[in-house]
Chain A
Amino acid sequence: MYPRACLPTSARPAPRQVRLRRHQPSSEGPFDRTARSAPITKSVRFCRPLPLTCERQTRIRKTQAQKSFARPPLSLFLHGLAHSVHDFGVAGGLRRPYVSVHPRLPDKDKTAHSSHRPRQIGKMLVVLRDGRKLFGVLRSYDQFGAYESIPVLPPLKTECCFLAVCSPSLPSANLVLEDTVERIYHQDVFAEQWVGLFLIRGENVVLLGEIVSIHKLPSSPCRDPDHVATSFRTSIEKTKCH
């Protein structure tokens, strides 16, 4: 194809005609469809952005503020704080504003504010649908959480317990894990790799649970294998009933 300047004048293509629609005030009132849809023809070579007036700047700031409220984790990515992301916004993006999770407080603060603060959530285990196991601090989640509480899943071979299982037929919450570590297992050994901030789409979550060391719970019933088996069976039956 020849450049435009090399072609004779007769062979040069005419400037692109763009049909624009503009609302024109009419004497018949604002509901006059004929005047509103009347096309005007104009040659357009370049599309330049409109100058930013004060009103437009204010409107943009408001829109950006609304977006940042709806998607706080994304701002982390924009500032380069995020390390990795799993399956972010494949279909429709995040669904609702996230709920922030308070960080774990020191013991003295816990006693002082225990009646006024929500329950502190610490390190969590998340098992994804592709089998990956992530350990991280739960920082936020959205409102579509539908998890079944199950006390223990023994086959995981971890030192933690008190898990929640995502029901496959119900929507589950998107999660944000901070300071995440991926752990892999093979027989009786394991290995860890730090993966940073993780934004997990809810439908990929199979299992979610807070990590509680058994050794810190001397009276915990989960040390008794019979109790574990019974509670596991009960919770499975309860899930089937629903």
Chain B
Amino acid sequence: MKWKDKLRFVRQNLKKNKSRVFMTVLATAMGCSFLIVLASVGFGLQKSVVDNITKGRLLTEIDIHGIREDKGYRQISDKEIAVLESIDHVKAVTRRYRVKQFAEYRIGDLKTSGQPIVAHMPAEIAAGFELAAGRMPQRDDEVIVGFHFADQLRPSAEQSGGAQVGGGGDAAPPANGRDVSAKAKELLGATMEMQVKQWFGKEQKMFEVPVTVVGIAKAPGREWIIDANVYVSEAVMKQIESFTQTAYGVLSPPDQPANAAAPGGARIYEEVKVYADDVKNVQGVVDKLTENRYASHSIVNQLEEVNTLFLIMKTGLVLVGTIAVLIASIGIYNTMTMAVTERTPDIGIMKAIGAHPKTIRGVFLIESGCIGLFGAVIGTAVAYAVGYAVNLVLPEVIRAFLNGDPPEGLRFSYIPPTLVLISVSISIGVAVLSGVRPAVRATRVDVLKALRRDL
């Protein structure tokens, strides 16, 4: 018997007792819906946590904290950078450090101050430094400013506030949203005087390095981070060092000879990041780093731990939800058993003229599977509606009763296609399983009894 004909039989059979089938489908839909909504809480929380971890970070990014030695850790220098760059599947190695004094930035009548960050621009370009506007530096005197840099600029008459990371102080409110403000756009192409100072005996001298702003960095991943940094090249740093006569532009105290190291020594980097060429190669790179005694941290490692934890949680929720589907399966079993009883004469006739037991079993299993499928489809639609409502209403409930905002980006219910697939499979699987016994019973119908011993 062809599948098409089996389905026709099933359709005819389901139409015979619409109300009973409808109630069974409804029970299955409720079970499936409960399963999805329950598990969606696990998926939602996982998504919230994972989004929180990955926000503004690349999955291919690996932080290098230092290199292990017998007594603690040593910071990364140029020698290690070369080693890191030679590892397979490493796309780029970014390294940054700060000028060790506050510089004053002046653009026309506006000014602010902060510690410039010295970045290796070719590596930043290779790593995919993200800009909100402008372009990456191509010359040594070109710089990038942070997304909130323009907000920190004050008229020269006012007392300048420090460019800060982490907010606070008398900083102006940060730019809202992710769009570059008009004020920031005006900076593009502008010449900025970067002024550093140094004590020479009792005299403090100033030195200005003219730079051009060519790019504005993308807004930080989290709203509460203020990026008012200025990213300069190594050449700018060298100009500063030649003025201060100290490595990293350290400002020596007045009346004291410079204790700091003289410029020209090996660079020590404060922030080193390795970028793998693909997410799937991150673990391999991390393994290689560990083998070479580098202390590293990858978001992938962190995600693995979080995902493992949530996998356990989601499995638990799916199992609890499956209980609802199992309860619904009692209804399916009952419906199918009644169907077999009612259709015993028809089954007898079919067997009498030569229907194979497999055919009869197949028709009943498809029938119970269809009940599961219809229930799952309706249940999924209901679950999406419930999930949407929960995401809409629950934050308001928290605001109303707990006098506070829910955590940023928290999602209570999230229904990914995987969850739908799992739930629909469980519903259909359970429905088919609950139809097995009635289907087997159908194949065992005694022909002679069914025909009332007619033949």
**Same complex origin of A and B:** no
Q: Which residues of A are in contact with B by a Cβ distance under 8 Å?
A: none
- B residues sitting closer than 8 Å to A (CB atoms) are none
